[in-house]
A and B are shown apart, each in its own frame.
Chain A
Amino acid sequence: MEASTDVARLPVKANTWDKVRGYIGEYGLIALLLAMPIVYGIQDISQDGSLARLGNNVVDGLSNGAIWALVALGYTLVYGIIELINFAHGEVFMIGSLVSAGLFGTLGLTVATGVGGLILGLLVILLVAMLASGSLNTMIERVAYRPLRNAPKLAPLITAIGFSFILQNVGILWIGGSPEGIPDLINAQKELFEIGGVSVSQGDVLAVAATIPLVLLLTTFVGQSRLGRAMRATAQDPEAARLMGINVDTTISLTFLLGGLLAGAAGLIYALYQTTIWFFQGFTAGLIAFTAAVMGGIGNLQGAVLGGFIIGIIQQISDNRIGGEWTPAIVFAYLVLIMVFRPQGLLGEQTREAG
């Protein structure tokens, strides 16, 4: 099935539909992404005379998007190296949230804790949550994906779904079946400053400020370090990488570890920002983040981050204007449209198949 799409296309003549599809792929996606902000921007100006409401949507969207970006990086790393949609990744993120929320109590962090203690405590929790999610992700790879490396491609996808259900049930056993409120440690909704009617809250600043260094660390690691080079080599051609003395199994484990670490960090940020945790949060987050990864171009690290921010903004606008109950449907509609008209995403795929 791999690499077959182009060859399989041969018997079908390049007809008008293909041309239309090409044009839509080229410009349509960008137009589609801009459609919602522009429409609501015009509406805002004509009604309120300012863009403040849209600006607020964008700011909230960026901080949501920071979380999706961290999760999307995990999808894109794994897809880049073994071409598997790690379906359980959203649940790894959820476990990261649960671990963080559990540690709030263990470390005695409450709303009353002072700034120094809070920063120290949160750093400890960040480390623990990252390690927990990272090792969980590596374990899943070892148990559910590695034995199936030579099996048909759909087999690991099915075990991934299986693991995602198992982890959701771990979540149910842990905190029960309904969303649970947790202490609002950082006072996330408190306004920090305001520019031209657009208010920026503490949660927004924290989400973006915690994400950027992590993303920079990751890109530097993948781009500069020896292990990162091994990862890129394995992504390009596993056989050749093996011949060059790279331990492919270790490299794949490392990829899962990195993805899990970021998901754990995202879990903590999500818990702080949303102040609610739920066993089901990983499923929706996983799909949204996957959409982000595809939007940016799966296998492409910068693309995943860009996609995360874009999806965050779309989601926020939709939450605010259309209604939260429709947001998943809108995000999925975007996913389908991207898959159909521009499967290589905004920045282009960096996988074996796409070259």
Chain B
Amino acid sequence: MSAAATAIRGRVENRTLIALLVALPAILWVASEIDMDLFMAFVLWVLIALRALFHENRAVARGTIAALAAWAIILPFFQDPTAGFIEDATLALAYTVFALGLNIIVGFAGLLDLGYVAFFALGSLTAGWFMSGFVASAGGGEGWSFLVGEPASTLPGIHMNFLLVIVIAVIVTTIAGVLIGLPTLRLRGDYIAIVTLAFGEIIYRVVLNGDELVIGGQEITNGRQGITPVDKVDLPFLAPFESLELRPWYFVALAFVFIALFVNYRLRDSRLGRAWIALREDEVAAASMGVPLVRTKLLAYGTGAAFGGVGGAFLASYLNTVNADQFQFSFSIFVLAMVILGGIGSIEGVVLGAIVLSFINNNLIPDVFNDYPSKVGLDFDLTELSFGIFGFLLVIMMVLRPEGLIPERRRQMELVQHLGAGTTTGVGEAEERTIEARA
């Protein structure tokens, strides 16, 4: 046996090897079903395998992450640019931005937010107001445009540059995040969940019935019809994006994911990130160590919300509509399920969870598995049940593997080995919290 093989053996349990071997045909099968390039799928498997096998080696870890980023950049050149895989991949990336934003609130600061969809809605609405013909009275009916090219600049309505709209969306959602956060400051964990849920529902109702709310002769939204069309992304020095060439959309979404990842990593390792984690673990201890509770919590809400705004504004342009149906409670749970599946607080896990769940939602359930019930003689549509499947996933994950697919180290210690100062309901016996050396 070569030295390298022994080195691998020494580090890795057989479990990991078996999982990786099973994963190869699974990845290839899924890739062929969703029209992903098989070569790229194989490369992905190799990178994942390297990351899993050498998870303790920092140099290899950094190398594989860089390689994964490069892989994501060249991926579109192996794909059909008009539709299919690249279309869903762009959506998956936008969802990843949401999941990374929610991860700051739920994962780092430990504030369960069940109304994250509110920020998606506000970001989308910002794009709907400033990047479409919706505000028909703008510029005396002639339209008002700022730093955009043809044809948007000649149309009625407000047409602003996409980057500016992103900035406005970030400002709007950050303020909304702080405002939604304010009432929850003194509440207990589960009350926070309900208050955020209530805010999410209120904003959904406002978008849904916004055509009845008229401010200065202008409705807030288009109600059930939605705001459509929304301008395509128009970046400086580049031609406006088109709906039949999806690669630029993919790259913009990927850039947002990279920014979100950068912010997540840097914040996690910063003073603020440590304050969040301290707050999550024990609020009293954190406060007595001098962590300013109000500011720390509000910063978590604000930063997390900002990513919701970015993703929302992008999706409004990408999907070409701002429709109330997108902003229902179930979307909040969809994003929450991504965070939980991947591992609460674990950045890599959240990215994995987001990508896996969006492909399950957009490809596997509607396209691949949808005719399975009828094949075994059952009469129902699997797409109707997608949220039941996510609900099932939430229960299973929480009961069997609460730390997620790629656990964050602190949480793994708390959940699997019961070492942390996790709050219990008080019903349990202290004896049961013996140290359990698993993993």
Contact = CB atoms under 8 A, between A and B. Distances in A.
A162 B394 CA distance: 5
| Chain A CB within 10 Å, residue with most, of B205, B287, B422, B427 | B427
Given A4-B283, A159-B398, A339-B183, A169 B189 contact: no
A164 interface: yes
B360 interface: no
Nearest to B424: A150
Contacts of A11: 287-288, 292-293
Contacts of A159: 394-395, 398-399
Interface string A320-348: 00010110110011011001100100000
Contacts of A210: none
A352 B426 contact: yes
Interface string A210-247: 00000000000000000000000000001100100000
A220 B139 CA distance: 69
Interface in B372-418: 380, 384-385, 387-388, 390-395, 398-399, 402, 414-415, 418
Interface stretch (A77-85, A183-191, A192-200, A263-271): A77-85
A10 B283 CA distance: 12
A8 B288 CA distance: 8
B50 interface: no
B140 interface: no
Contact of A155 (B202, B402, B418): B402
A38 interface: no
Contact of A85 (B190, B282, B398): B190
B146 to A, nearest CB: 33
Contacts of B333: 161, 165
Contacts of B190: 83-85, 153-154, 157
Nearest to A169: B388
B205 A325 contact: yes
A148 to B, nearest CB: 6
Contacts of A8: 186, 283-284, 287, 293
Given A157-B112, A172-B385, A326-B205, A162 B395 contact: yes
Given A8-B287, A84-B190, A332 B391 contact: no
Given A1-B188, A4-B283, A163 B209 contact: no
A157 B193 CA distance: 9
Interface size classification for chain A: 35 or more
B366 to A, nearest CB: 15
A283 interface: yes
B199 A1 contact: no
A264 to B, nearest CB: 21
A239 B426 contact: yes
Interface in A115-149: 143-144, 147-149
Contacts of B425: 82-84, 149-150, 153, 156, 238
B340 to A, nearest CB: 6
A84 B194 CA distance: 12
A163 B287 CA distance: 35
B329 interface: yes
A2 B423 CA distance: 7
A85 B391 contact: no
Contact of A238 (B198, B384, B427): B427
A1 B423 contact: yes
Given A147-B399, A148-B399, A162-B394, 20 more contacts: A2-B188, A5-B187, A11-B292, A84-B190, A149-B425, A150-B428, A151-B415, A152-B422, A152-B423, A154-B190, A156-B425, A157-B189, A161-B114, A161-B391, A162-B391, A162-B395, A172-B384, A172-B385, A239-B426, A336-B198
Interface of A: 1-2, 4-5, 7-12, 82-85, 143-144, 147-159, 161-166, 168-170, 172-173, 177, 238-239, 242, 248, 252, 283, 287, 290, 294, 323, 325-326, 328-329, 332-333, 335-336, 339-340, 343, 352-353
16 contacts: A1-B188, A82-B425, A144-B398, A148-B398, A152-B422, A153-B423, A158-B340, A159-B399, A162-B392, A169-B384, A169-B387, A173-B385, A238-B427, A325-B209, A328-B201, A332-B202
